Amino acid sequence: MPVPGIYHTKARDYEYKRLGTLSLLAGIDLITGKITASVEERHRSAEFVDFLKKIDVEYPAEQKIKIILDNHSAHISKETRKYLATKPNRFEFIFTPTHASWLNLIECFFGKLARTMLHDIRVKTKNELKDRILQHIDYLNESPVIFRWKWKMDEIKTEVKIDKS
């Protein structure tokens, strides 16, 4: 329980009222830096398939779309596989290991969004929150930032230690 002066309250005082949650589905084009996003009431297979359809129309039909994903059940559901079967060789899914979402650039974006734009804001409705998130993403897309890897693979030194005990 937040105690003034002792624990940070994150702007959740006695007037704070939880309005519910929204699900942000988003992807970053690593070539252009553009963010494609959809804010939904839920994160089920139906919303995920709709998001894939949104991505599908943004790229030329002959281009393969590679998507890095976590292991959410909607990403491998029957509904998702059924949709992917209608688009053979269009999408390639690359799954991050369990508990390694930090390997996915969009997860880093979600964290930054939470620390900056969403931190301590007050909204009166979920629709207002949805609108503010989408406006922020539109703002970011006005001057997209292209992610550049700092290291080249041949410069990374790795060492494998084998325990012989």
Q: For residue 161, is pLDDT > 70?
A: no
Q: For residue 35, what are the contacts with CB-CB under 8 A and spacing of at least 6?
A: 26, 27, 28, 29, 109, 137, 140, 141, 144
pLDDT score recorded for residue 92: 93
Dump pLDDT digits (tens) for 76-104.
999 999 999 999 999 999 888 888 777 78
Q: Higher pLDDT residue, 146 or 101? A: 146
Whole-number Å distance between alpha carbons of 159 and 34:
36
pLDDT score recorded for residue 123: 85
Q: For residue 138, is pLDDT > 90?
A: yes
| Residue boundaries of the structural domains of the chain | 23-148
pTM of the model: 0.78
Q: Higher pLDDT residue, 149 or 65? A: 65
Dump pLDDT digits (tens) for 5-51.
555 555 555 666 778 889 999 999 989 999 999 999 999 999 999 99
Q: What is the DSSP string of 24-66?
A: EEEEE-TTT--EEEEEES--SHHHHHHHHHHHHTTS-TTS-EE
- To the nearest whole number, what is the mean pLDDT of the chain? 84
The CATH topology of domain 23-148 is: Nucleotidyltransferase; domain 5 (3.30.420)
